[in-house]
Amino acid sequence: MQLEIIPCLNDNYSYLIKDDQTSTVAIIDPSEFDPCDKKINQKYKKLDFILNTHHHFDHVGGNAELKKKYGSKILGFEQDKKRIPEIDVQLKDGQEFKVGNLNFKVIYIPGHTLGHIAFYLEKEKIVFTGDTLFSLGCGRIFEGTYQQMFNSLNKIKNLPGETKIYCGHEYTKNNLGFCLKFNPNNNHLRDKEKLIDAKIKTGKPTIPSTIKDEIQTNIFLRYDDLDVKDALNLKNASDLEIFTKLRDLKDNF
Ligand SMILES: [Fe+2]
């Protein structure tokens, strides 16, 4: 398969994919029409499917215009049928569907919004996590509970370590600063800092990372790390309490 990263708006990423065997083309979370249309025109001149992880405008902003131009089918979570513009196919948790010969699986991950889903390609070892899991961070909890977000992140954490993570925003550098502040003795973070700085310096996305990499570095998956508990002065707190404290601190970081 082919995968193109399309930078949109200030710091969003949309993802254009093509199944080579059938020349089927899909886009994940088209933030806005122009940059997505430009890339589609340049590469494939067609768009069969639009996949939305959640209803926020910076993930569905291109839906209507792209559908109108290319006659694409729009897929989103069933509970968000009223909030995803021009939705055609309502997906359920655990449902599998095809983009050409690529087999996608829906993973329901509420917290950032109540209808948030991830798209998982098991064979290709790729997951599109929208605004739930970022590189070195996680999304704000706008609609769900801390417990829901915690459970959702753990669902993603349990995917195979080599799975590549494509998320909705380029927030990695800011997230790194937060991880370093509250997990100062994590040497993996120092190594990651060099890689991130080199990519940013040359104007490249810091995406994708991998599940293994995130488990080593992303503080929102490291609620049981004694160094983190120490830094928060919460040595006897539960995993959920640590996660909750971290999420609150990050909101004002
Ligand atoms: Fe969002």
Q: pLDDT (tens digit, 9 = 90+) per residue, 1-21?
A: 999 999 999 999 999 999 999
Average pLDDT over residues 102-117: 98
pLDDT for the residue numbered 145: 98
pLDDT for the residue numbered 125: 98
96-99 and 126-130: which strand pairing? Answer: unpaired
pLDDT for the residue numbered 168: 98
Catalytic residue among 48, 112, 116, 213: 112
Its pTM stands at 0.98
Which residue, chain included where needed, has tokens 């969003």? 12
Q: Which residues surround ligand 1, an ion (CB under 5 A)?
A: 56, 131
pLDDT for the residue numbered 115: 98
Active site residue 55: no
- What is the distance in A from the centroid of ligand 1 to the CA of 10? 13
Average model confidence (pLDDT) across the chain: 98
